Structure 1
Amino acid sequence: MAQGTAHIGKDRYRTQVEVGGHALTADEPESLGGGNLGPAPFDLLLASLGACTAITLRMYAEKKEWPLESLDVALRLSGGKDDRRIDRALTIRGLDEAQKAKLADVAERTPVTLTLKGGLPIETHLA
């Protein structure tokens, strides 16, 4: 399925990430001691959810031959360790209210949404 790598050297928190054959830079904001040279880890998590939501809903609309003009996904991570949550707002253009409601329902079942809601075991070992 998917795979990636992350490498950090001596440049404080700047991390070179490679996923799907694409290179990204992740960092922390200056307020946390980073150089703000790229998105922070939670920003990348939101990016993953936003991209999955947008792509899945576009695919669904195409399959139904609906005239979806555009879709914006606004995401906000809030809360702390014990009450963390993501609020997602969809702005959909070109569809009627019933079609918009169906896309909002489909958004609850995108692959990344289901992964985040269900949790994911992570096994760590030394290479």
Structure 2
Amino acid sequence: MSVRGIRGAITVAANESKLILDAAEELVKGIVEVNGIAAEDVACVYITVTQDLDAAFPAKAIRELDGWEYVPLMCSVEIPVEGSLERCIRFMVLVNTDLNQHEMRHVYLGGAQVLRPDLLQNR
């Protein structure tokens, strides 16, 4: 068994708590679904948000999902690079799995699809 990383990102329409929490839940559920993983498989989740999203911690939505209360979650702010995608939440989900790295399915939703179109082909 190895630890593998799964990337994910999603954009939100506005800096509103409900939108941020709903987007975080949608993204984690999408990652779980396409990769066939359970919360018990997850070593941890690193979450970043762009500086324009400060109305809620995305981790709050994940902690409220069944089975996710003990998964280590950490939120931080993305590096503010000029011209980068706005209102974006990014995940790095580290999972314990027997799958190879190329078998991991990365999930990019909404406006975040522009970040890694090469990885969308693998879905």
TM-score (norm 1): 0.38
Q: RCO greater where, 1 or 2, for CA within 8 Å and sep 6 or more?
A: 2
